[in-house]
Amino acid sequence: MTYCLAIKVNDGIVFASDTRTNAGVDQVSTYSKMYAFGIPGERSFVMLSAGNLATTQAVVNLVERDLAAADPERSLKTVDYMFDAAHYIGKLSCGVQAAHCEPAKEEGIKFDASFILGGQIGDSAPEIYLVYPEGNYIAASPTKPYLQIGETKYGKPILDRIIAGETSLEDAARCALVSLDSTMRSNLSVGPPVEIAIYRNNSLALDTPLTFDTDSPFYQAVQRSWNEGLNRVFDDLPRFDWESALRPVSRSGE
Amino acid sequence: MTYCLAIKVNDGIVFASDTRTNAGVDQVSTYSKMYAFGIPGERSFVMLSAGNLATTQAVVNLVERDLAAADPERSLKTVDYMFDAAHYIGKLSCGVQAAHCEPAKEEGIKFDASFILGGQIGDSAPEIYLVYPEGNYIAASPTKPYLQIGETKYGKPILDRIIAGETSLEDAARCALVSLDSTMRSNLSVGPPVEIAIYRNNSLALDTPLTFDTDSPFYQAVQRSWNEGLNRVFDDLPRFDWESALRPVSRSGE
**pLDDT (tens digit per residue) in A166-187:** 999 999 999 999 999 999 998 8
B46 touches A at CB < 8 Å: no
Of residues B111 and A137, which shows the higher confidence score?
A137
Sign of dihedral through CA atoms A171, A177, A180, A186?
negative
Asked if pLDDT for residue A248 goes beyond 50, the answer is no
Contact indicator for A118, A129 with CB cutoff of 8 Å? yes
Task: Assess whether A231 and A116 both reside in one domain.
Answer: no
pLDDT digits (tens, 9 = 90+) for B189-229: 899 999 999 999 999 999 899 999 999 999 999 999 999 99
Q: Which member of A153, A237, A241 has the closest CB to residue B153? A: A153
Contact indicator for A128, A147 with CB cutoff of 8 Å? yes
Contact indicator for B251, A170 with CB cutoff of 8 Å? yes
Task: Assess whether B221 and B182 both reside in one domain.
Answer: no
Please report, for the domain that includes residue B178, its CATH number.
3.60.20.10
Contact indicator for B46, B13 with CB cutoff of 8 Å? yes
Q: What residue numbers bound the domain in which A162 lies? A: 3-214
Beta bridge partners of A115: A49, A131
Task: Assess whether B136 and B246 both reside in one domain.
Answer: no
Q: What was the pLDDT predicted at A109?
A: 80
Closest CA to A190 of A130, A230, A148: A148
Among chain B residues, CA nearest to A161: B227
Closest-CA distance, B6 to chain A, in angstroms, reads 17
Asked if pLDDT for residue A104 goes beyond 80, the answer is no
Of residues B61 and B26, which shows the higher confidence score?
B61
Q: Do B157 and A243 touch (CB under 8 A)?
A: no
Task: Assess whether A113 and A233 both reside in one domain.
Answer: no
Task: Assess whether A100 and A189 both reside in one domain.
Answer: yes
Contact indicator for B153, A157 with CB cutoff of 8 Å? no
B245 touches A at CB < 8 Å: no
B104 touches A at CB < 8 Å: no
Task: Assess whether A181 and A237 both reside in one domain.
Answer: no
CB contact burial A105-115 (16+ within 10 A = b; e otherwise): eeeeeebebbb
- Residue type at A21? T
Task: Assess whether A194 and A226 both reside in one domain.
Answer: no
Q: Give the integer Cα–Cα distance in Å for B19 and B48.
A: 11
Task: Assess whether A185 and A253 both reside in one domain.
Answer: no
User: How large is the average pLDDT for residues A28-51?
Assistant: 95
- Mutation target vs A (from B178, B184, B240; most A CBs, 10 A cutoff): B240
Judged on CB neighbours under 10 Å (0-12, 13-18, 19+), A161 is middle
Number of domain units in chain B: 2
Phi first, then psi, for residue A11 (nearest 5°) are: -90, -10
